[in-house]
Amino acid sequence: MKHPASAALAPILVAAVFSLFTACVKKNAQTNSSAGTSIGVFIPGVMSGSPVYEMLVEGVRAAVNRHNGAQGAAAPVELTVIEGGYNQAEWETKLTAMTASFSYDLIVSSNPSLPDIVSHISDRFPDQHFLLLDGRLEGNPRVYTLRYNQREQSYMAGYMAALISEAAGPAPARRVGLVAAQEYPVMNNVILPGFLEGARGVNGGYTVDFRIVGNWYDAAKAGELAADMIQGGVQVLLCIAGGANEGVIHAAAEGGARVIWFDTNGYGIRPGIVAGSSVLYQDKAAYTQMLRYLEGTLPFGTAETLGLSEGYVDFIQDDPVYIETVAPELRERQASMIERIRSGALALPL
Ligand code: RBF
């Protein structure tokens, strides 16, 4: 008679051996043809409340569906999405496990911290290919990266924040706000300085009240920070805190302040309170680069930076809620500044 524990374990073992076997078969098949191509998307965080990740999956999925539609059902590309969760200390282990499963021909992700993590993994798994957005790594022959010109993106946010602050009262505090989830090199070296630079484009006297939530989900904490900033005279706040942004919106609505949204069109989130949307088109980037991969033309080893003139960064000006919320003369000044970036008269390289 079989031991009961081993009877219970047997199916698990069989499943484990089988999945290892199919993973190896899949991998081997892939090297010879595009049949059985498997894409894994790693989300460094959670999707809900973070448009950069929602756009990533949307773009990858659209490219896979288009490819599968064109190829017929014979050899569909498979797509798996895995969330890494909010504990950043676990991301490398989780991504290593994903790589070590040998299940994915390509792993797609998005985050400025991913290039470092992937460099470590790539040393141990040199055959694994990666497509990384919102990050930069050049020269690894298995890694392609694309980042956005976030100096342009944050400049446009800062310019509008200062325009609204100037118009808000007779004695503006000349202080705009930035509520960020955490400090990281792109935040400290690109986004915060770009936001300040934009505000100073309106008036050189501006400073930034910069506050840190400590994570990407605590809306109550973000709300407390924002309320304190508004109390101190800040009239317009940029928020880059994922799910915690909700708290900033709430505090602004209570305190008569305005919010500049980042990454996606946020006017509809709280009409009248969100007075600017400085966006990046990560869905378009994910779609375009995934199609290049599926067509075999993604230039691994290279790193691209795309901004306003390439159509990957913008400030949404044609939304009816924006037109209703922001006075015409401010919108005109914002529009002419954007035109100066687009024409190259105002150069904001990274
Ligand atoms: N952005 C989000 O919207 N949600 C997140 O959970 C998130 N987590 C991040 C974790 C780290 C370690 C870093 C460096 C950035 C993170 N970002 C996140 C920010 C994102 O990469 C980007 O800078 C902002 O969305 C602004 O474009």
Residue-range domain boundaries for the chain: 36-148+283-306, 150-280+317-343
What is the distance in A from the centroid of ligand 1 to the CA of 134? 9
Q: Which residue's C-alpha comes closest to atom 21 of ligand 1? A: 111
Q: What local confidence, expressed as pLDDT, does residue 171 receive?
A: 59
According to DSSP, the residues that pair with 315 across neighbouring strands are 278
Q: Distance between CA atoms of 28 and 256, rounded to whole angstroms?
A: 61
Cα 181 to chain centroid, rounded? 13
What pLDDT is attached to residue 49? Answer: 84
Q: How far is the CA of 180 from the centre of ligand 1 (A)?
A: 9
Q: What is the DSSP letter of 240?
A: E
Instruction: Find the 184 Cα to ligand 1 centroid distance in Å.
Output: 9
β strands within the chain, DSSP E: 38-43, 78-83, 106-110, 129-133, 143-148, 175-180, 207-212, 236-240, 258-263, 274-280, 303-306, 313-315
**Sole residue written with tokens 């969330």:** 83
Q: Do the strands 274-280 and 258-263 form a parallel or antiparallel pair, or are they unpaired?
A: parallel
- The atom of ligand 1 lying closest to the CA of 112 is 14
Question: Tokens 């960020």 appear where?
Answer: 180
Supply the pTM of this predicted model.
Answer: 0.90
Q: Ligand 1 atom closest to Cα of 280? A: 27
**Pocket lined around ligand 1, Cβ cut-off 6 Å:** 44-45, 50, 52, 88, 111-113, 134, 184, 186, 216, 240, 242, 262-263
- CATH T-level fold of 36-148+283-306: Rossmann fold (3.40.50)
Which residues in the chain come in under a pLDDT of 70?
A: 1-35, 71-74, 170-172
Domain 36-148+283-306 and domain 150-280+317-343 have a common topology: yes
Residue range 150-280+317-343 forms a domain whose CATH class is alpha beta
Give me the pLDDT at residue 73, please.
Answer: 60
Taking CA atoms only, the protein residue closest to ligand 1 atom 27 is 263
Measure 322 CA to ligand 1 centroid, in angstroms.
25
Name the residue of 86, 116, 216 whose CB sits within 8 Å of the most ligand 1 atoms, as the mutation to test its pocket: 216
Gap from CA of 350 to ligand 1 centroid (Å): 18
